[in-house]
């Protein structure tokens, strides 16, 4: 009853209104986007209350398990003895015998899982995860086990409400910062966009934390360039363009955020602009556009920021706006081009936009050296209007318009 009431309240409380009225298109759309962001902030509390009601409080008696279409709350799954440690409960679990054998090779991990003074969350691979060989070195397995450990007691409710979680693997590539896990509800309930499926969120606790069962062995993420070059990914045009302009080698040594347009994003460009960018005259402009998608030294997840140049830490609730410099620097005295990021989190979903009108289509593709945020539209530097106002909108853009916007950067 309560869940139905909350959903009805959310649906009726603030109906969406996108009225252009008698105003310039850019101004009307900006105001509409601002209105939507306010509504998202308003609904955040209602969404969190609903999920907490479904999943439970910090010591939930509800467990989420997968069915054929979605995840539904069911009171079933492994019972953890609250007088035993995580490790002792794993030893007693018939579904984790292979994991216990593996842990016998890593006394420091066993010590962590047995430490009664600690408070941990372990995403524990079941026997199914070991049906195929891991093909990892002992050092890689050790790092991956640390990656599956999260400081703090992440109950089922806390996991569901997270965009990312910081692990106990302190990644040297990130300057010793905690490598993060992305929690996804789009492809089913999973970690790192289906790399590992969470088969059960535990309904009970060990004396030093909790473990949740996963069906695969979660490996430390690969580098950004490897993800972009993955043939199963949707970045064929973007990775090919990086390679043709010589930027791919720079991305190999890159640490930061890549706003990666999908292949569909490229197809949305006007045909004359596509032809221009793929021709010899357009090569410098293509390189400039690609640099506009690369943010060095600042890693912007949907709920956390690692940075050498801006404020670091968790992203506050509500609407958060951040400016970050890209790799697009001027050939003269113009300032380095920046991106305006707007993030509004509500429950397990983050509304993440770039330069006002470009939503991130899929957030938090975790990489060893940063994060990839997927875009459904290619970013074009804004037009500066008389008086210094910034126009991010790009309707009916021509090749001449594109060259004008990139003047001074090519």
Enclosing H/E stretch for 366? strand 358-367
Q: Measured in whole angstroms, how far is the alpha carbon of residue 59 from the centre of its chain?
A: 26
Report CA-CA distances (Å) from 357 to 19, 58, 164, 366. 16, 37, 24, 24
- Give the pLDDT of the chain (410 residues) as one tens digit per residue: 334 333 333 443 434 333 344 445 555 555 555 555 555 554 555 454 444 444 443 333 333 343 333 333 333 445 677 889 999 999 999 999 999 999 999 999 999 999 999 999 999 999 999 999 999 999 999 999 999 999 987 777 788 788 999 999 999 999 999 999 999 876 568 899 888 888 877 777 899 999 999 999 999 999 999 988 885 668 999 999 999 999 998 888 899 999 999 999 999 999 999 999 999 999 999 999 999 999 999 999 999 999 988 889 998 878 889 999 999 998 877 889 999 999 987 766 778 999 988 999 989 999 999 999 999 999 999 888 887 778 888 778 899 999 999 988 99
Q: Are 237 and 266 in contact (CB under 8 A)?
A: yes
- Residue 254 is given by DSSP the state -
15 neighbors 39 (Cβ within 8 angstroms)? no
Among 219, 220, 297, 292, which Cα is nearest to 253's? 297
Output the CA–CA distances (angstroms, integers) from residue 72 to 51, 62, 202, 269, 407, in the order listed: 11, 10, 14, 41, 54
Compute the chain's Rg from CA coordinates. Answer: 23
The CA distance from 105 to 326, in Å, is 44
Name the nearest CA neighbour of 28 among 320, 395, 381. Answer: 395
Strand partners, 63: 74
> What predicted TM-score, i.e. pTM, was given to this entire model?
0.82
DSSP 173: G
């Amino acid at each position: 009853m309560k869940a139905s009431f909350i959903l009805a309240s959310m649906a009726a409380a603030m109906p969406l209104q996108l009225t252009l009225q008698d105003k310039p298109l850019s101004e009307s759309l900006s105001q509409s986007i601002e209105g939507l962001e306010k509504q998202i902030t308003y609904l955040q509390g209602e969404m969190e209350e609903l999920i907490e009601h479904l999943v439970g409080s910090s010591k939930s008696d509800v467990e989420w398990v997968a069915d054929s279409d979605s995840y539904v709350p069911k009171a079933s799954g492994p019972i953890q003895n609250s007088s035993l440690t995580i490790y002792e409960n794993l030893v007693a679990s018939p579904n984790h015998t292979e994991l216990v054998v593996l842990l016998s090779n890593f006394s420091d991990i066993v010590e962590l899982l047995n430490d009664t003074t600690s408070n941990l969350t372990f995403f524990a691979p079941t026997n199914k995860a070991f049906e195929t060989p891991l093909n990892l070195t002992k050092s890689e397995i050790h790092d991956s086990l640390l990656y599956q450990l999260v400081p703090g007691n992440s109950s089922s409710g806390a996991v569901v409400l997270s965009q990312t979680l910081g692990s106990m693997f302190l990644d040297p590539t990130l300057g010793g910062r905690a490598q993060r896990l992305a929690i996804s509800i789009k492809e089913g309930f999973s970690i790192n966009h289906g790399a590992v499926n969470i088969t059960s969120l535990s309904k009970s606790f060990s004396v030093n934390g909790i473990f949740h069962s996963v069906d695969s062995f979660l490996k430390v993420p690969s580098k950004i360039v490897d993800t972009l070059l993955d043939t199963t990914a949707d970045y064929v045009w973007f990775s090919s363009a990086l390679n043709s302009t010589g930027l791919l080698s720079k991305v190999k040594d890159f640490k930061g955020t890549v706003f990666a347009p999908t292949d569909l994003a490229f197809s949305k460009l006007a045909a004359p602009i596509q032809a221009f960018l793929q021709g010899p005259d357009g090569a410098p402009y293509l390189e400039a556009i690609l640099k506009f998608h690369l943010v060095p030294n600042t890693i912007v997840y949907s709920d956390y920021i690692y940075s050498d140049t801006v404020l670091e830490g968790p992203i506050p609730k509500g609407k958060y706006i951040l400016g970050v410099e890209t790799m697009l620097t001027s050939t003269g005295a113009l300032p380095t081009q920046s991106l305006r990021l707007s993030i509004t989190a509500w429950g397990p979903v983050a509304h993440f936009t770039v330069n006002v009108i470009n939503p991130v289509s899929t957030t938090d593709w975790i990489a060893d050296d940063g994060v990839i945020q997927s875009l459904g539209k290619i970013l074009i530097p804004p037009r500066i209007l008389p008086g210094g106002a910034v126009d991010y909108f790009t309707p009916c853009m021509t090749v001449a318009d594109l060259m004008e916007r990139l003047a001074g950067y090519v």
